[in-house]
Amino acid sequence: MTEPLRLSRRMSELGLCSRREADEWIARGWVRVDGKVVSELGSKVLPTQRITVERQAAAEQSKRVTILINKPVGYVSGQAEDGYTPAIALIKPENRWADDPAPEQFHPTQLRSLVPCGRLDIDSVGLLVLSQDGRIAKHLIGETTSVDKEYLVRVQYTKPGKLPDSDLKKLNHGLWMDGKPLLPAKVRWQNEDQLSFTLREGKKRQIRRMCDMVGLKVVGLKRVRIGKVKLGNLPEGQWRYLGADEVF
């Protein structure tokens, strides 16, 4: 027998929306199971049952914005902590990139339910994504994400000589963290003191910890790409909307 699942969880699994959005839509009577409206939170469904959503839900989802910030040092990506300012505080009209081609007009309601899709350490800079669309958050930070992220990392070798090729290979594959092997990464020299890291996972302070394991000290870290979306010429401390033609 196949076990029934919570309707909101099943909707998230199908990529229709986030669980939070699903609960909202169910409460509004916008969700049908096998053609019948289901409006009770906590309802369960079988994986074989057909789930559809009313057009209002799709219309509301299409109005949700996704914003890209070039985060400076000193801002946290999520909730305010230890007196540090969250990156969302940068999203105001005067910080919008003058060359943003998106037609959207900024409105304070766009800050509602705008959540960071992944973290960027307080002492790191570069591309940070915040979205009102639960599907994008799930796509970028879900456990099964296939979206890679690229970082430029300025380093100093703390031992005599140069980093051995064997240690560069370890950075690509072979290191363990928190009791588990890390997924393969792509790590290569950009110039004599800068590495490019491309990762598919994002453990806390992962790159700094990886570098530490092979005797490298990180002196600067910048995220330049998430999937197909690049930081490009977006100035530090400024933001723009994700374009309608851009996909991660």
Taking CA 26 as the corner, what is the angle to CA 20 and CA 28, rounded to the nearest 5 degrees? 105
Domains belonging to the chain, first-starting first, are 5-62 (3.10.290.10), 66-144+229-241 (3.30.70.580), 149-226 (3.30.2350.10)
Read off the pLDDT of each residue in 216-228 and give the average, rounded to a whole number.
97
Hunting for tokens 């928190």 — which residue is that? 178
pTM of model > 0.75: yes
Dump pLDDT digits (tens) for 166-190: 999 999 999 999 999 999 999 999 9
Active site residues: 121
Going by pLDDT thresholds of 50, 70 and 90, the confidence category of residue 234 is very high
Are 157 and 213 in contact by the 8 Å Cβ rule? The answer is no
Going by pLDDT thresholds of 50, 70 and 90, the confidence category of residue 138 is confident
Q: So what's the pLDDT on residue 84?
A: 87
Read off the pLDDT of each residue in 218-224 and give the average, rounded to a whole number.
97
